[in-house]
Structure 1
Amino acid sequence: MPSVDADEQGAYTKTANPNRRRAFSRRRWVKISCLATTLILFAFYFCYYAYYYRSPRVTLNKLITTVAASKAPPKTNESDHLFPPDFDHDQHIPLDTWSSSPGSPRGALYMIVRNENLPEARATMRVIQDRFNDQAKYPWILLNNQHFNADFKKHASAVVTRSNTSIFFGKIDAEAWAYPSWIDVPRAENLLWDLVGVKRGESLSHHQLLRYQAGLFYHHPLFTNVEYTWRIEPGAMYTCALKMDLFRFMKKENKKLGFVMTTKSEPKADPSLWPTARSFMEQNPHWIKPRNQTILPSLIDNNGDYNHCHMSSNFEVLDLSFVRSEAYQAFFRHLDLASGFFYEKWGDPVRTLAAALFLDKSQVHFFDQVGYVNDDISHCPFNSHSSQQCTCNAAQSHDPPSLDAFIHYAQSKIPPHIKIDLNNTDILKQVIKEKDQLVSFLEQHGDLSFNS
């Protein structure tokens, strides 16, 4: 066998098995690739976990809003400040939604509702559509402090689309729904316990709703082109045929506030509301109407204190020029800064007191012909002709607190030359039981508004 020197042996070794070297190189590359892939997947999983479970979520809509805001000019509109764009919900009602005929009011049916209350909302919407709005075709505005889900939008829209009625879904801005910055949150939460026994007094969400309804809802951009609102409560039933267009009536007769139910708040719910309102009156006498021109005397007892009577906002027809006025907004800010919406339970009486301070009594209207049932309160028309078109029981109309409150309101309806003992509530309650007699009396001496 021929001999091979060392140099030749080395050269032979390097070139004898090239396939083996290539296989080794491939195995090493596969291992490196697997390790790198594992590290990348681990990093991705870690970031995913941190994003969803360790830090606040940032939605695509918020990201889009943030980027858009950085490029947009500064905003001065208050509604834009309170309610930044949300691309999941409606932000605007076009003017061509309403009739273009002269004198037609731009009215809207307005409801605050959550996804879980879809059955109640649909039932009430169906009644309103059947009894009134299938022909009138006023748009619906539905607001929610959460995001409306697709199921809610689908089934709520189905109620109105058969009559070609428009419906808009808006989201209440978190800033308008949450505690304002000046509220001592621990104190507010502790004070909720003091309101146990007051109807929904311990419910934070109810306090938030009352504040929003009292002075914030009309800032939502969906109301920009709206002149009149009719607030609809989910689950409320309307028990009479509605032959009157309430919005047209409000506009024609220059009414600013329409109601159907009066009741009394519990003194424990709002003990500092009247003193706070009085401080506003003392600081702003230029906005306060003469007492004898307003409904204020019917809200004050013999000691000069508030008697807690108020109009329920569960049914409320409102001219938005009233709540958009400088006087009303200053009044709401004054009350809001006093913190009573969260330290106590201020709500519907706020609107009633504002009406008593800033409106002539002829601008407040009692819609007797509307049959209404909600929770434990109800109204059936006093007028027998109207009641023949109703499914309600007139004998069960009004609970006792509502009777007492209505008696106070009735005082401002009786002309001065008519002599009747309105302090004898037993007699008046008996008259109210015979509702036709009361209406006959009122029709002889003025309509069912607060006219003198």
Structure 2
Amino acid sequence: MMTPMRYIVLVLVIILSLHYIMSFSHEEYGKATSLDRIKQSWSGPNPPYKGGIPDEYYKPSAPVDLPDRKANATFVMLVRNSDLTGILGSMKQIEDRFNRKFQYPYVFLNEEPFTDEFKKHITSLTDAPVEFGLIPNEDWVQPPHIDEERATKARQEMVDQGVIYGGAYRNMCRFNSGLFFKQELLQKYKYYWRVEPDIKIFCDVDYDPFLVMQDQDKVYGFTISLYEYPATIPTLWDTTRKFIKENPGLMAPDNAMGFISDDGGETYNRCHFWSNFEIGSLDFWRGEGYTKYFDYLDKEGGFYYERWGDAPVHSIGAALFANKSQIHFFNDIGYRHEPFQHCPQGDVHAAGRCWCNPSENFDYEWYSCLNRYDQMF
């Protein structure tokens, strides 16, 4: 028969045992999700991160039921080593919402060599192929035909006037406008999905957007459109009009001029697709029309004398050299890049199991250009 004292001792033993077990489990859980645990060296066959990690790296995937058909496509990420935290968050969402089911490859581009630390963390997130590329210096730095004194003066004037990003991002805008698709690692691909650090993907993507592009002959896909800051592109449209006049045969017959101009091309209404998200055709950018257009802009020097961004340049190029039916609004891909977001509405929101608030949606706000896109059809 158990005495009261023995009962008390037994209860204490049980409590201490449970405390030990829960403490151990909690500690192990914390280790599994902490940055310190992530920074530890991996061991075993999947894979051993010892010594240098080559730029061309393939991590064998575990057996999964992959789709029978895929497009020749890749994700493209232009990032620096210092962007690691932000791009890990973006990539994790891409994997969880889409790519764990499709396993499309990744191409990372940088003006400086990627560190082993960067490669280790990136490759731990996916079973898909990953490649790391170093941008050639001549593709990144200011070209020799630019007058540095004039460019410096222009940057300072923008800074003095409080123009957003007035003193920065010239090399990046030029590279994204006309040089990213010329990189060696991208030559084997036909389609790409551009991904930036610190984005949010709100909805499950249970179909293949790349096959939408391929099967429906699309060349450019977007989620958000808005107006460009006029102070950054004062002569972009004048330069574009000169190019059109000199190359009249390059424009597509049923183009999207109505999206970028309200008067048949006399003026630019500043509407553009927000290019931090874009799913596009690499062959389209490599084509005669856009290649000549970018080269023309590059010689004019507006990427440095003003601040021509890749968003308006890509948008104008897509609007002029593609049929309007080849530009696609990915309504079912919920997306945020500060400070704007596209949140699918109604049944689309429910079908995608989206976690964004439907009331927080930029689609038809006063600064959005989506209504102009809608009016073309």
> Can you list the C-alpha shifts for 1:81-132, whole angstroms capped at 9, x where unaligned?
xxxxxx9864799xxxxx9998631110110111111011111101100111
Shift, 1:411, TM fit: 1.3
Do structure 1's residue 198 and structure 2's residue 163 form an aligned pair? Answer: yes
Shift, 1:295, TM fit: 1.3
Instruction: Give the count of matched residue pairs.
Output: 315
Greater Rg by CA: 1
In 1, are the aligned partners of 2:53 and 2:119 still within 8 Å (CA)?
no
Shift, 1:314, TM fit: 0.6
Q: After the TM superposition, which residues 198-347 of structure 1 pair with which residues of structure 2 at under 5 Å, given as runs?
A: 198-203=163-168, 206-290=169-253, 293-302=254-263, 304-347=266-309
Map of 1:16 onto structure 2: none
1:334/1:377 CA distance change after superposition, 3 Å: same
Runs of at least 5 residues in structure 1 that lack an aligned partner in the other structure: 1-86, 94-98, 414-452
Using the size of structure 2 for normalisation, the TM-score is: 0.79
Tell me which amino acid in the other structure corresponds to 1:295. A
Q: 2:376 aligns with which of 409, 412, 423?
A: 412
1:331/1:88 CA distance change after superposition, 3 Å: farther
Tell me which amino acid in the other structure corresponds to 2:258. P
Shift, 1:382, TM fit: 3.2
Distance 2:69 2:356 in 1: 33
In 2, are the aligned partners of 1:255 and 1:363 still within 8 Å (CA)?
yes
Shift, 1:199, TM fit: 2.4
In 2, are the aligned partners of 1:369 and 1:383 still within 8 Å (CA)?
no
Tell me which amino acid in the other structure corresponds to 1:105. A
Distance 1:331 1:401 in 2: 31
Map of 1:140 onto structure 2: 106
Do structure 1's residue 395 and structure 2's residue 359 form an aligned pair? Answer: yes
Tell me which amino acid in the other structure corresponds to 2:294. F
Distance 2:256 2:57 in 1: 36
Distance 1:91 1:218 in 2: 18
Shift, 1:185, TM fit: 1.2
Distance 1:179 1:218 in 2: 18
Map of 2:336 onto structure 1: 373
Map of 1:159 onto structure 2: 125
Q: 2:142 aligns with which of 179, 184, 196?
A: 179
Shift, 1:279, TM fit: 0.6
Distance 2:135 2:123 in 1: 19
Do structure 1's residue 116 and structure 2's residue 78 form an aligned pair? Answer: no
Runs of at least 5 residues in structure 2 that lack an aligned partner in the other structure: 1-51, 59-64
Map of 1:76 onto structure 2: none
Tell me which amino acid in the other structure corresponds to 1:406. L
Greater share of helix residues, 1 or 2?
Answer: 1
> Can you list the C-alpha shifts for 1:150-207, whole angstroms capped at 9, x where unaligned?
11111111111xxx2111111111111101011011221221122233322211xx11
Distance 1:400 1:101 in 2: 35
> Can you list the C-alpha shifts for 1:240-267, whole angstroms capped at 9, x where unaligned?
1112211011111110100011011111
Distance 1:241 1:286 in 2: 42
Equivalent residue of 2:359, what SS? helix
% identical equivalent positions: 34
1:155/1:102 CA distance change after superposition, 3 Å: closer
Equivalent residue of 1:159, what SS? coil
Shift, 1:402, TM fit: 6.7
Equivalent residue of 1:368, what SS? coil
Shift, 1:383, TM fit: 4.2
Which deviates further from its counterpart, 102-111 or 305-314? 102-111
